[in-house]
Structure 1
Amino acid sequence: MAKATITNLRKKRLIFSYAMLTPGIIVLLVFTFYPIVYGLPLAFTNYSVIEDTKWVGMANFNRMYADPDFWLALQNSLLYVICVPVIQILAILMAVLVNNKLRGVHFFRVAYFIPVVTSMVAAAIAWKWVYEEKGVLNYILQALGVIKEPVSWMALPGIALFAAMGVTVWKGLGYYMMIYLAGLQSVPVELQEAARIDGASRWRVIWSITIPLLQPFILVCTIMSVMGAVRVFDEIFVMFGPKGDPAGATLVTGVYTYKLAFIDFNFGYAATVGLIVSLMIMIFTILSFRFNRRGGMSYYE
């Protein structure tokens, strides 16, 4: 009788779980998986709203191979990944800081998370004002004596992309900090206290105990931030436009795909570029899971 009751309870929980998942699955099917499946054949056509659609086979891939703008956009997107370790390191340090029982720590947690809930369009517009020659950044740097003349942060090809990276770092820090904070609060306090009793310094405890136990969180956050860096669009588009000015220095794959599809109306070629970028992200994700299996509590088992 008891076994039958437990079995029925498990069935009810299973049904309830699937019922809760169903709305999310429907949304994913309609707005994510269906566009992906529908968009795959477009990569092999010359689909356009102003021309007849024809099957062109590998012609779009051959065009992409010889397209200097694609390679420039891909190069800039891969360069954008530089901001990933910066975000992750700073997010971990911020999580360690706000994980302490300090006075007013809740205020800092909220303050660090405010950029996450701020609209990227609004943030990009605000940062454009910060980066202007007569903007806040130049004013502060000149007041401190760091620079003598205003710097055109958004007009110099060698600086513009890094200026956009600064916006991405600012926007994403609070999000990843909260994930790492959740991970830190799951770390057994006994392990840290035992290490301190044995004479380990605070940084030694963080490096030898906290970081290995955070490995699953680091893996997830790294994959998410790399995907976001390669697919970056909003801040680049708002700050520099669809051509990736100045002189294509900020042209990334997301903006280039948008330009091909909605300015040049070449949806087939745009689908090809999007497909290749998606395959690159998928390969990176698989490799990350393949080489980062160890971590968490299983690390010590």
Structure 2
Amino acid sequence: MGPDNLTRACTLRDGIGHEAARTVRDITARNLQVGILGWGAIGQTLARQITDRTRDGAIAGCSLEVSAVASRFSGGTAHPLMVPAHELGDHCGVIVEAAGPQAVRDHVEPYLAGGTDVVLLSLGALADPDLRSSLLAAGPGRLAFCSGAIGGLDIIEAARLHGRVRQVTIETIKPAAVLERDWMSEELCAALRSRAEAVECFRGTVADAVTRFPESLNVSAALALAAGSFEVVEVTVTGSPTATVNTHNVVVEADSGTYRFEITNAPSPDNPKTSHVTAWAALRSLYNLAGNAGVFV
């Protein structure tokens, strides 16, 4: 179980509107011992940012400290605070999950049951309705969703509260070279390699998208959670021969209005299948959980 000084602020439990706030007064602790599940590009970048910003005094009004990390895989860059994944919750008050859908299935519910809060990056795992239901019902730890590489979720949630979100479409455009997958036909792979023109690689549901592109399309699940339905979201993936960045074109049709977003992210230099800003999105989530003043809520 996480430390007693873990903040018990307003719950961010689901994105489909379960629990109300516990108390605002409990936000004041502002001291988080952070565990990181996943020691790839996102986890390592996040750890460096927390350490550097704490050392340089750049985190005003709250304290973040990396107290433990865990990886699903052996090898790679070691860390002096590395612990087995099943023990991570014993060392911290909040865990940032950056290890992929299987890690969510294996570890997140026990963390929540032990009283440790979890900030989820691999939102695509929640396309499984059974897993989603079990994690949203778990506790007493809180489950929070990280926006990751996309924005606009706040107005989609507001539109859902206002009335009905009828349809969400997202077209993700990435460099063709990073999209080739084992399940693709030889013809499709050849088209991506030729770099002659833009190639539509996929069109379908969020559940299918996150299965086929588990490292790249957590953004589609984020949209579904904000809209309150996985059924209203249609996903298209396009490989571009000229793209050097990751672009998400989003259109939302709701009773309250029509919303259009174009989000262009630089890819991570360590893992071009994901966007570089994702680690900083996780850092923002931790600031908010720590009760920092002057944040958007």
Normalised to the residue count of structure 1, the TM-score between the two structures is 0.20
Query: Would you tell me which structure has more strand in proportion to its own residues?
Result: 2
* Structure with more contact order per residue of length (Cα contacts < 8 Å, sep ≥ 6): 1
Query: Would you tell me which structure has more helix in proportion to its own residues?
Result: 1
Which structure has the greater CA radius of gyration?
1
